[in-house]
Copies of this chain bind each other. A is one copy, B any other.
Amino acid sequence: MRFTSRQHLDSGVLEREFTLGETPGTLWTPGSTAPVPLILMAHNNGLPKAQPRLVARARHCAAYGFAVASIDAAGCGDRPLSAADEQARADLGRAMRAGEPVDELFESLVGPLVEGAAPEWRATLDALLAQPGIGGPVGYSGWAALGIRLAVTEPRIAAAGFFAGGYVPRVQRAEARRVGVPLLFLLQWDDEGNPRRRALDLFDAFGSREKTLHANPGGHTGTPWFEVDDANRFFARHLT
């Protein structure tokens, strides 16, 4: 793991870019030097780790007292998609805008994206836990499909916050019953890209004994800021 840049924020948070093999990542750590829990923060369907809403959440979460990391896994952010995946992403966007059925397009694009991303996140987790000041336990926050895969394959993940969840590949919908960690499931009641009924069915399917649903009115990007604080308290309850 090689750090390529560092920036000190007014909050005391240290923001560092790193690379791990082919994988570019960002690590946010609080001012304190004592070991802190780690939260892996991923964006739905391969949006870039530099996306401003993710960066704002990550900085806030680190200022609260967690180490936070995000990566651009294969097919995410600036990393190249195959011509076929580029085509599938374009077709998916067009079909969603046109209100056409998207399940097969979604499956063909996001299914492989999750399969490809999970090993890179696990390798990143290994490398991060070897860093000074990152003690674990480990939380996961964000992209539901990737989080389900990590939660059922990665025993070091002790709590998870998932967002949206209206579209999740078949494999992860089936894996949801095997998710057992405490869960905070956040959805937007009027999410234009995530059918409410499907998101509620996914919440119902999770095997976790402790799982909490939070829902607010508005579209996909309309989550109120207080949910970021609620998520910090959720992770504090389970990781500290």
Contact = CB atoms under 8 A, between A and B. Distances in A.
Interface of A: 189, 200, 203-204, 209-217, 224, 226, 230, 237
Given A189-B204, A204-B189, A209 B213 contact: no
Given A212-B215, A213-B213, A213-B214, 13 more contacts: A189-B204, A189-B213, A200-B200, A203-B215, A209-B217, A210-B216, A210-B224, A212-B214, A212-B224, A213-B216, A214-B214, A215-B215, A226-B237
Contacts of A200: 200
Chain A binding surface SS class: mixed
Nearest to A234: B226
Contacts of A210: 216-217, 224
- 3 closest A-B pairs by beta carbon, nearest first, are A213-B215, A212-B216, A214-B214
Nearest to A215: B213
A213 B216 CA distance: 7
A118 to B, nearest CB: 27
Contacts of A216: 210-213
14 contacts: A189-B203, A189-B204, A189-B213, A203-B215, A209-B217, A210-B224, A211-B216, A212-B215, A212-B216, A212-B224, A213-B213, A213-B214, A213-B216, A215-B215
A216 B215 CA distance: 12
A211 B204 contact: no
